[in-house]
């Protein structure tokens, strides 16, 4: 049964009023393939995070800020999502080694936690997706061949059941 539909199949917000607030966590991942032209701009300094410097600013650092902001505003973006106070939100970006064709895979992980009556899966997914879209927006000046996907939930804890995807 879809919880966001009432008995007459009309959209509804799920009533979580009777639920107990518990610790809820979620981790989602967005993957991006940077084409060779953009991947060639990735700077890897010893002991530092990989980054792509641009006139607009550092792409990955900007994407991290955008991802956190996206997670915090999920209920403004996704209909029927409950607004949740986030206790923690971290966005990590890792860049894989260059492939033979010069492209690179970028992984964006968004981890979110709260003490609430409903889960934070949508916040983690939104944070990862918004960070990926920011990489695209800032990198499109170099190439429109940036590919985003998949975006998926990797794990959630709290509530009725836990979930752990195979990575």
Q: Which residues belong to the active site? A: 137
End-to-end distance of the chain based on CA atoms, in angstroms? 28
Nearest-angstrom CA–CA distance, 110 and 133: 14
List C-alpha distances in Å: 21 to 55, 118, 119, 164: 45, 8, 10, 21
Pairing of strands 22-34, 88-95: unpaired
């Amino acid at each position: 049964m879809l919880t966001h539909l009432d008995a007459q199949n009309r959209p509804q917000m799920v009533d979580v009023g009777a639920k107990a607030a518990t610790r809820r966590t979620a981790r989602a991942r967005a993957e991006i393939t940077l084409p060779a032209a953009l991947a060639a701009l990735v700077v890897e300094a010893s002991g530092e995070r990989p980054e792509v410097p641009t006139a607009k600013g550092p792409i990955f650092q900007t994407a991290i800020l955008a991802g956190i902001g996206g997670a915090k505003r999920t209920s403004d973006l996704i209909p029927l999502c409950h607004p949740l106070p986030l206790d923690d939100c971290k966005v990590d970006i890792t860049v894989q080694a260059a492939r033979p064709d010069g492209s690179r895979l970028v992984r964006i992980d968004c981890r979110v936690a709260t003490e609430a009556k409903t889960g934070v899966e949508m916040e983690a997914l939104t944070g990862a997706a918004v960070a990926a879209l920011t990489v695209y927006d800032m990198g499109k000046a170099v190439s429109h061949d940036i590919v985003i996907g998949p975006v998926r939930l990797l794990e959630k804890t709290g509530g009725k059941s836990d979930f752990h995807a195979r990575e």
